Amino acid sequence: MTSILDLPKARPVTPLGILAEKLEKAVQLIEKADISPEIAETIQQAYQLASGLDPYLEKCTTSESEALENLAEKTQKEPWNLRFSDGETVRHLEQEMLSGHIEGQTLKLFVQMMNAKRILEVGMFTGYSALAMAEALPDDGELIACEVDEYVAKFARDCFDASPDGKKIKIEVAPALETMKKLADAGESFELVFIDADKKEYVDYFNLLLDRNLLAENGIICVDNSLLQGQPYLPENQRTANGQAIAEFNHAVANDHRVEQVLLPLRDGLTLIRRK
C-alpha cells in the first residue's frame, strides 16, 4: 500500500484545520519578530491545542476497515483537476470532499445504535460515508445514494464492489432532488438520511424529506458541512455563496418547529435533526 507520505496533502477545510494553519503561520511570524516571551508562549500553546486535536481523535477512534482505507487512498491519488478539465466530471471535485475516518465511524455507530435498515444518502462523492454506513447495515439492509456525476458514481461502484458490504448500496445517478421526488412518489421512507450535496439546495432537501415523509417516523437526518469552514458564523462579507447558503439552512432548521436538532463541531460540522 502507498505510504501516507506519498499521497497528495489535503488542504485544511474545517474550522479547526484552518485555525491550526493560521496559528502555525503566527508561530512562524513570531519567530522573526521582537515579541515578548509570554505572548510567544501563549500563541505556541494555542497552536499545539488546535493542531493536536484531530490526530488525537484519529488515534482514539476505532480503525477504519481495509475497504474504507483503500477507498480513501484511491480518492487521494485521483487527479480530480485533470478529470474536470478533460470533461470527465461535471463539476470540480477534490479529495477534501471525502468525509473521512472519524465522521465515517460516527455515521457507522449511528446506524448500529438505530438498528437502521434503510438509509438515504444525498450526495455520495467517492462513497466513503456510504460504505461506512453500509458496513453497519444488516445483510438485508439497503442504502440508496444520490449522485449527480457519472464518473464519480462509477469510481465509487468499483470501490464498493471490492467490499463484501458494497452490495447493500444502490447508486442513483441524477440530480438529488429529482431522485428524492421519485422515491417519495414511490412511497419510500428511510430511518437515516445523510445530506452532503449541493449546499444551495440543503433547505430544499430538508423540506422535501419532511413534507413528503421520506424521513421515517423517529428517523434522523445527519447534515454534513453545517459549519462550512466557519463561514456561517463569520461576518457576511467573509462568506462564499455556499457559506451563505449554509448560514440560511442552519437558521431555517433552528426556527422550524417540526424538528429538534443539535449542531456538532465534528470535522466541518455535523447537524443531527429529528422530527418531533
pLDDT digits (tens, 9 = 90+) for 75-130: 999 999 999 999 999 999 999 999 999 999 999 999 999 999 999 999 999 999 99
| pLDDT attached to residue 86 | 96
**How far is residue 48's CA from residue 59's CA, in Å, rounded to a whole number?**
16
Report which DSSP code applies to 11: P
**How far is residue 228's CA from residue 109's CA, in Å, rounded to a whole number?**
23
In 3D space, the residue among 233, 229, 230, 266 whose CA is nearest the CA of residue 110 turns out to be 266
| pLDDT attached to residue 9 | 74
- pTM for this prediction: 0.94
Over range 117-145, report the average pLDDT: 99
Look at residue 33 and tell me whether its pLDDT is greater than 60.
yes
DSSP string, 143-210: EEEEES-HHHHHHHHHHHHTSTTGGGEEEEES-HHHHHHHHHHTT--EEEEEE-S-GGGHHHHHHHHH
Query: What integer best gives the mean pLDDT of the chain?
Result: 96
Lookup result for grid cell 501563549: 42
| CA contacts within 13 A on the Cβ side of 55 | 6
pLDDT digits (tens, 9 = 90+) for 207-227: 999 999 999 999 999 999 999
**How far is residue 19's CA from residue 25's CA, in Å, rounded to a whole number?**
10
Look at residue 7 and tell me whether its pLDDT is greater than 90.
no
